[in-house]
């Protein structure tokens, strides 16, 4: 079987720590909440999302 490609479901800005998760119902990124607080980071930041480090979009199917 051929490899499958997956998309990220969470991301964190490396500059300001803004945290978001992918909402499949809304089909949009939503802010993460910790203890009821939205993890907004800096609203003026040009976000550098940490999705390139350990995230691997290719998943090998087991045959």
User: For the segment 21-43, what is each residue's pLDDT rounded down to a tens digit?
Assistant: 999 999 999 999 999 999 999 98
Q: Collect all residues with Cβ–Cβ distance below 8 Å to 40 and sequence separation of at least 6.
A: 18, 31
CB 11: neighbour CB atoms within 10 A?
18
Pick from 51, 56, 53, 50: which is nearest to 16 by CA? 50
Alpha-carbon torsion angle 7, 21, 27, 55, nearest 10: -10
33-34 and 28-31 beta bridge pairing: unpaired
Kindly indicate the confidence band of residue 20, based on its pLDDT and cuts at 50, 70 and 90.
Answer: very high
Across the range 7-32, mean pLDDT stands at 93
């Amino acid at each position: 079987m051929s490899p499958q490609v997956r998309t990220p479901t969470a991301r964190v800005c490396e500059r300001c720590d803004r945290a978001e998760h992918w909402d499949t119902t809304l089909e949009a990124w939503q802010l993460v909440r910790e203890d009821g607080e939205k993890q907004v980071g800096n609203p003026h930041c040009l976000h550098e999302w940490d999705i390139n480090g350990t995230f691997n979009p290719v998943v090998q199917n087991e045959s």
